[in-house]
Amino acid sequence: MRQKLLLEISVDGVEKAVAAERGGAGRIELSAELSVGGLTPSRELLRSVREKVHIPIYSMIRPRAGNFVYSESEFSEMVRSIAVAAECGMDGVVLGVLKKDRRVDIARTRRLVDLARPLPVTFHRAFDETRDLKRALEAVMQTGAARILTSAGAKTALQGAAKLAELVAAARDRTLILPGAGIIASNLAEVVQKTGAIEFHSGLGTVLPYSTRDFAAFASEVRSLAEQLASLS
């Protein structure tokens, strides 16, 4: 039997978080403003979701939309946001910092990783903005980040599956590659088979609008993903 596979679901509100847990998600990525890729959630949202949900929650740490090259004031805001996430009982944080030349900012990212300890850090899809994914992988591993959320630079994880498999092989046991982007029930098995990854990320944005209030439908879509992963584990 292969290692148990884990499903991470991105949400931007209490009701979605509860629905994700009800559907069988193994972990939640909590953000504000998923329509722009996710921003740092408020202290109030962090606390509210933590009160309602029992599975692990990772908080997005992203001070604004747009690129991932941050000013000193924005970086200081990220430092403060990590402290708030820890204070509110989060189980991890999600972040990414690049330099102007689109390389991973190793020094700044390592500082954030160190500040977050013992919470693990996921380096998010800023990774896909880099010019050389293999070099970026080595850079992220130098920072101490626990995992990388990526589609290997492709529009979807399925389209990037071959490169994702290369990243999984190159990362070995040093960091975990978390495929994400466009993963839904109809393509999940193929992504699992082609990438060799053991954790998978979905926001279900291609089957339900991020603004949906149909939380029963959201839970149902999560359940379809969770049941498939369980059958493949």
pLDDT in tens, 131-153: 999 999 999 999 999 999 999 99
Phi-psi sector, 172: left (phi>0), alpha (psi -120 to 50), beta: left
pLDDT at site 223: 98
Alpha helices in the chain, H assignment, sequence order = 14-23, 43-52, 72-87, 106-116, 133-143, 161-171, 188-195, 215-232
Q: Are 176 and 146 in contact (CB under 8 A)?
A: yes
When pLDDT is averaged across residues 13-35 and rounded to a whole number, the result is 97
Residue 2: pLDDT band with limits 50, 70, 90: low
Average pLDDT of the residues of the chain? 96
pLDDT at site 104: 98
Query: Which of 27-31, 125-129, 157-161, 208-212 is predicted least confidently?
Result: 208-212
Amino acid at 52: K
Name the token pair of 66: 């747009």
CATH number, domain 6-228, options 3.30.365.10, 2.60.120.10, 3.50.50.60, 3.20.20.380 = 3.20.20.380
Cα(72)–Cα(215) distance, rounded to whole angstroms?
A: 39
Round the CA-based radius of gyration of the chain to a whole number and report it: 16
When pLDDT is averaged across residues 79-106 and rounded to a whole number, the result is 98
pLDDT at site 205: 85
